């Protein structure tokens, strides 16, 4: 039994199944009442309708997700010691796939049982994102734990996420520890990348596709490459390193194009590659009309939907860009197409790709289906943590 005077939320009868199955979110509609005045962002016990203990978590009455669960052990309350243990466990989990000091995601929120916390390592520096009120209260503890465990030269917080507004939080950025330059240059798989630490998308670089970029290299030699929605051009850099003849990147962000051009220069690829700044949809249409052809095409757009309500227009967007890619594909071309929209699952995504191929009049084989890199672990009890789909396709005819 739970202690009588602890802050707690009582679930409605029959609404404890998701929590018992391992999910880390408790929605407002699953809660019967909150007892003993839980603080906003503070620790809370989750109990069933009969007041039997289920989990420890943190509470936010302003969020649709009222509780995020941190532990299911009665003797493991939410405190600084638990946060330090979880961070240490997350760091240890990267060792089989990543070298010591390697650039990677060190903490992946629900995937590491630290909902609301993301940490990326770029060489000797760390970038932290905090997306929830409950984790916000532990900012200093988190920074101390990361400093003690990884000894970075600096830690920068990039909590400028729009989702913080759902938690009643304003954006927050700034140096947490040490010194952090505006831009650092890191090496991944023998390639050099300039990373904007304080500006730009996500925490500076998209790391979830790293192993897919490696897989792309087998299909790159001698091909002309189109990298659409390319950000700073990571896919095309890997392709050029593997012997691609030429590469073109399409990107709407001027800041990303600037960093991408720096990356080309750092790696000695400036003579074999270029960028076109602007809307990728428009560029794809224009190249289709001009009869352009490519032997390797990469589509890595941002999420076209963040909710089930906007799934239909998202499907139309994915179909449009894949249709254009298939029309631009030379005979025998490889198309690598991705979706990071959780609400469009793998089978639904392949259905969209299949429809696009049919409308383009192309016969297409699936070479392989890939997901996010192992530094973005999937918590099987939290399907939302499995978001990335990446299909490698061969245009047969």
Which residues in 34-62 are b (16+ Cβ under 10 Å) and which e? bbeebeebebbbbbbeeeebbbbbbbbee
Q: What is the mean pLDDT of residues 159-176?
A: 95
Q: What is the mean pLDDT of residues 170-174?
A: 96
Catalytically annotated residues: 340
> Residue 188 is inside which H or E element, if any?
strand 183-188
pLDDT at 187: 97
pLDDT at 240: 98
Q: What percent of the chain has pLDDT over 70?
A: 98
CA distance 44 to 109: 19
pLDDT at 305: 86
Strand order in the sheet with 25-27: 25-27, 65-71, 53-59, 43-47, 8-11, 31-35
pLDDT at 205: 85
- The pLDDT mean for the chain works out to 96
- Would you place residue 1 in the very low, low, confident or very high pLDDT band (cuts 50, 70, 90)? very low
pLDDT at 308: 86
> Residue 106 is inside which H or E element, if any?
strand 104-108
Q: What is the mean pLDDT of residues 73-84?
A: 97
Q: What is the mean pLDDT of residues 97-112?
A: 96
CA distance 68 to 324: 41
CA angle 210–216–220, rounded 5-degree value: 140
Residue 373: pLDDT over 50? yes
For 2-38, how does the pLDDT look when each residue is reduced to its tens digit (9 = 90+)? 556 789 999 999 999 999 999 999 999 999 999 999 9
Tokens of 308: 């089930």
For residues 196 and 259, the answer to whether their CB atoms sit within 8 Å is yes
For 318-364, how does the pLDDT look when each residue is reduced to its tens digit (9 = 90+)? 999 999 999 999 999 999 999 999 999 999 999 999 999 999 999 99
- Phi, psi at residue 263, to the nearest 5°? -65, -40
- On the 0-12 / 13-18 / 19+ scale of CB atoms within 10 A, 394 is middle
Residue 68: pLDDT over 50? yes
pLDDT at 233: 96
- Phi, psi at residue 266, to the nearest 5°? -60, -35
Residue 82: pLDDT over 60? yes
- Would you place residue 307 in the very low, low, confident or very high pLDDT band (cuts 50, 70, 90)? confident
pLDDT at 379: 98
For 272-300, how does the pLDDT look when each residue is reduced to its tens digit (9 = 90+)? 999 999 999 999 999 999 999 999 999 99
For 193-232, how does the pLDDT look when each residue is reduced to its tens digit (9 = 90+)? 999 999 876 677 899 999 999 999 999 999 999 999 999 9
Tell me the domains of the chain and their CATH numbers: 8-71 (2.30.130.10), 80-180 (3.30.750.80), 185-395 (3.40.50.150)
pLDDT at 5: 77
Q: What is the mean pLDDT of residues 310-323?
A: 95
């Amino acid at each position: 039994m739970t202690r009588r005077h602890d802050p707690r939320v009582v679930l409605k009868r029959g609404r404890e199944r998701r929590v018992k199955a391992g999910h880390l979110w408790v929605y407002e509609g699953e809660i019967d009442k909150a007892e003993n005045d839980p603080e906003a962002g503070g620790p809370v016990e989750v109990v069933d309708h009969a007041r039997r203990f289920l989990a420890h978590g943190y509470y936010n009455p302003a969020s649709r997700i009222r509780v995020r669960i941190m532990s299911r052990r009665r003797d493991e309350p939410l405190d600084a010691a638990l946060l330090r243990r979880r961070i240490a466990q997350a760091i240890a989990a990267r060792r089989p796939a990543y070298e010591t000091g390697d650039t990677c995601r060190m903490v992946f929120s629900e995937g590491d049982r630290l909902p609301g916390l993301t940490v990326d390592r770029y060489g000797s520096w760390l970038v932290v994102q905090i997306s929830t009120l409950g984790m916000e209260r532990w900012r200093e503890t988190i920074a101390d734990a990361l400093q003690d465990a990884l000894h970075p030269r600096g830690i920068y917080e990039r909590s400028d996420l729009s989702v913080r507004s759902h938690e009643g939080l304003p954006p927050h950025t700034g140096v947490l520890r040490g010194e952090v330059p505006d831009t650092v240059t890191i090496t991944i798989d023998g390639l050099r990348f300039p990373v904007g630490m304080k500006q730009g998308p996500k925490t500076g670089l998209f790391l979830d596709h790293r192993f897919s970029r490696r897989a792309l290299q087998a299909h790159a030699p001698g091909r002309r490459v189109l990298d659409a929605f390319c950000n700073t051009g990571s896919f095309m850099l890997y392709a050029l390193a593997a012997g691609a003849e030429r590469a073109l990147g399409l990107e709407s962000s001027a800041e990303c194009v600037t960093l991408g051009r720096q990356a080309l220069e750092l790696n000695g690829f400036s003579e074999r590659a270029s960028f076109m700044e602007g809307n990728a949809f428009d560029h794809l249409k224009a190249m289709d009309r001009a009869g352009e052809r490519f032997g390797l095409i990469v589509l890595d757009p941002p999420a076209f939907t963040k909710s089930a309500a906007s799934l239909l227009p998202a499907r139309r967007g994915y179909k449009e860009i894949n249709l254009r890619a298939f029309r631009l594909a030379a005979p025998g071309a490889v198309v690598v197409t991705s979706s990071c929209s959780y609400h469009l699952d793998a089978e639904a995504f392949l259905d969209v790709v299949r429809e696009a191929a049919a409308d383009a009049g192309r016969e297409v084989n699936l070479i392989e289906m890939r997901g996010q890199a192992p530094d973005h672990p999937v918590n099987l009890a939290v399907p939302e943590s499995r978001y990335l789909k990446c299909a490698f396709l061969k245009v047969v005819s």
